[in-house]
Structure 1
Amino acid sequence: MARNPLHSHVVFCRDPDLPGFEVRYSRYGGYAFRKHTHAAYCVGVVESGESDFYLDGRVLRTKPGDVVCINPGEVHACNPDPGSAMIYRMAYISPLWITRVGAELFGPGAGAFRFACPVLEDRDMAGAFEALFAAAARREPTAADVLEKESLLVSALGALMSRFSDVAPPRDTGENQAAKAVRDLLDADPAGGHSLEDLARAAGRGRFHTLRLFRAAYGLPPHAYRTQLRVELAKTLLARGASIADTAQETGFVDQSHFTRVFREHTGATPSQYQTG
Structure 2
Amino acid sequence: MNPDHTYFTVSINPIANKADLSVLFSGEGKPVPLHQWGPAVHDYYLIHTVLSGEGVFEIRNRTYRCGPGDTFVIFPGELFSYIADADRPWHYVWVAFVGRAVGMTLSSMGVTPENAVISGSISRSIRHLYRRIRSSFQQSEYPVLEDLKAGGWLRLLLSELGQTNGHRLTDKRAAESDIERQIGQAIRYLELQYTQPVSIESLAHSLGYHRTYLCKMFKQSIGLSPMQYLLKIRMERAKQLLKTSMTIDQVASSVGFNDALYFSKQFRKWSGVAPSAYRKQHLSYSCHIIE
Q: TM-score range by the shorter chain?
A: 0.3 to 0.5
Larger RCO: Structure 1 or Structure 2 (Cα < 8 Å, ≥ 6 residues apart)?
Answer: 1
Larger Rg: 2
Normalised by the length of structure 2, the TM-score is 0.42
Q: TM-score, normalised by structure 1?
A: 0.44
